[in-house]
Every structure is written in C-alpha cells, then in structure tokens.
C-alpha cells in the first residue's frame, strides 16, 4: 500500500550553506510522510503513545540521487514493506515538482513497552489496519 503526501515546500532554514536541503532533514520528511499516512488510516500516533505503544526508529538508510533546494516542492511516497511483527518497516521515495527522483530510503521502527522499554508485538488493531 503506497501513500503519497500532500505537497511539501522546502523552507530556507532546511538548506545548508551550499543551498542544498541539509541531509538531516530527509529523515524529518520521512517522519512527516509516516505520520500523515497513519493519520489517513485513522491512527493517531499521540493516542498510541497514551495507550502505551512507543515506536522509536531503530534503523534508517537514505540514498540521495538529486538535491532539493530552497523553494522546491516535493512529495514523499511511503510504503509499508511487510506485515509488522515486533518492528514495522517503511520504504520512501521523494520526488520533486519536475517528477525527478530525489531520494529513496528506509526506516525500521520497533514497538516498545513504555514500562519495560523492551520490544513487544505489533498491536492487533494496527495489524488489522494494515491488511
């Protein structure tokens, strides 16, 4: 299941001295896409945390093809890679307004108990949403 975000515009503060979007911002863009997708599925990250489900990123990879610049418009496509168990894995594609591939990436998030800080299985309500 692929999900494409609304248009995102590069802000000046996201760029570096060379005028490129700083590499650290791409992980923020991935997070925006994940949260927007979960919201579209009717899943509130804040509610999950209140209900005792933590989801820290435990792995992240990025592959840059072209830079983004101040003022560029872009979209992030996020895809659930496989059925979640104790982790959930996403693939990403960032494309600019000219439909050029900018960046691809992957994140793995773990499901953790806030009490024990130990891994737990993906809650059933999430598994059902992802089917």
Just list the catalytic residues: 16
Distance between CA 103 and CA 64 in Å, rounded?
5
Per DSSP, helices labelled H in the chain are 25-40, 45-50, 124-130
Which residue in 59, 4, 2 sits closest to 27, CA to CA?
59
Q: What are phi and psi of 36, to 5 degrees?
A: -65, -40
Q: Which residues of 86-95 are buried (b: 16+ CB within 10 A; e: fewer)?
A: ebbbbbbbbb
Whether the Cβ atoms of residue 112 and residue 68 lie closer than 8 Å to each other? no
Residue the block writes with tokens 């515009």: 9
């Amino acid at each position: 299941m692929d999900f494409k975000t609304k248009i995102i515009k590069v802000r000046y503060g996201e760029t570096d001295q060379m005028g490129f979007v700083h590499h650290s911002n791409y992980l923020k863009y991935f997070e925006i896409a994940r949260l927007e997708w979960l919201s579209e599925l009717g899943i509130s990250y804040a509610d999950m945390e209140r209900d005792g489900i933590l989801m820290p990123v435990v792995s992240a990879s990025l592959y840059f093809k072209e830079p983004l610049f101040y003022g560029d418009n872009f979209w992030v496509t996020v895809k659930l890679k496989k059925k979640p168990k104790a982790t959930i894995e996403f693939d990403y594609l960032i494309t600019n307004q000219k439909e050029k591939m900018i960046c691809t990436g992957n994140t793995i998030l773990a499901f953790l108990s806030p009490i024990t800080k130990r891994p737990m299985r993906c809650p059933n309500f999430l598994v059902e949403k992802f089917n």
